[in-house]
Amino acid sequence: MIALMLRLPRVSVDHLGMTITPVSTLQRLLAHGIAIRVTEFGRIEYNRDQLTALLPQLYKENPEGLLFGTDLPATRVRYRFSRADLQLIATVFDHDQAAINRVLWKNGQLWYQQLK
């Protein structure tokens, strides 16, 4: 599937790939300009400690590649979006406002604008 994704003109991966995916695979996708959606933490297999380690690595690979989202109403999850998800992003990026702004809204805005 990765080979196909790399040939598509525009694609994104939802929920960090849903399963625990090797960091090298996610970095490869980011390096090729494929956006990774940092969404619905109650659905993915990563726990908070894993996310805290993973997200900075992915951001370093491509600062424009992470797109945050809530995925509300999120009816099939262990827990729904909460303010704790926003706090996690702030903590992960050590309160670096530029990085937080990119992940929370700017990257998504740019990604969707490029679809036009």
Quick: pLDDT tens for 18-73. Answer: 778 888 999 999 999 999 988 877 677 778 888 899 999 999 999 999 999 887 77
Query: Under a CB-based contact definition with an 8 Å cutoff, are residues 84 and 51 in contact?
Result: no
- Cα–Cα distance measured from residue 51 to residue 57, given in angstroms and rounded to the nearest whole number: 10
Classify residue 35 by burial, with Cβ atoms within 10 Å: 0-12, 13-18, 19+. Answer: buried
Query: Under a CB-based contact definition with an 8 Å cutoff, are residues 67 and 37 in contact?
Result: yes
Quick: pLDDT tens for 71-112. Answer: 777 677 777 778 888 998 999 999 899 999 999 999 999 998
pLDDT of the residue at 57: 95
Map tokens 């740019």 to a residue: 110
Three-state SS string over 11-39 comes to: CEEHHHHCCCCCHHHHHHHHHCCCEEEEE
Map tokens 């099939």 to a residue: 76
